[in-house]
Structure 1
């Protein structure tokens, strides 16, 4: 596995990136749920809640993969 300037292999970097963006989006969606609720659009609030759950699951799965990589030592020198 190649390591770039970050010291992490590509797969580890990609997982961290997906995890970060999923967590950031989940935080933002909380506001979107409130906005939709304030506008009286429960259907849209429900939609935002659903994608918030999906992003949470995505972040959780990335976390599990990252744990596996760190234990196996295949994540690159930055986490060794």
Structure 2
């Protein structure tokens, strides 16, 4: 495996990066849900909830891959 400038192999770095961004986005989407609800747009709030759920699943899958790589 190639090792990037971080000292970690590229795949591990990539998984950590995707996991971080998925979790960060999930946090931000919570505000988007509230904004849509405050605007009376439950359809858009539901959309943001769906996107948040997808990012949560993505972060969880990264976590599982990282566990495999470190065991």
| Partner of residue 78, structure 1 | none
> 1:1-80 maps to which residues of 2 (within 5 A)?
1-71=1-71
Partners of 2:18 and 2:36 in 1: CA distance:
26
Aligned residues: 71
* TM-score normalised by the chain length of structure 1: 0.87
Q: Which has the higher contact order (CA 8 A, sep 6+)?
A: 1
1:8-53 deviation line (CA, Å, top 9, x unaligned)? 1111010000000000000000000000000000000000000000
SS of residue paired to 1:5 = coil
Partners of 1:43 and 1:25 in 2: CA distance:
19
Question: Which ranges in structure 1 are unaligned for 5 or more consecutive residues?
Answer: 72-80
- Whichever of the two has the greater Rg, that structure is 1
Where in structure 1 do 4 or more consecutive aligned residues deviate above 2 Å? none
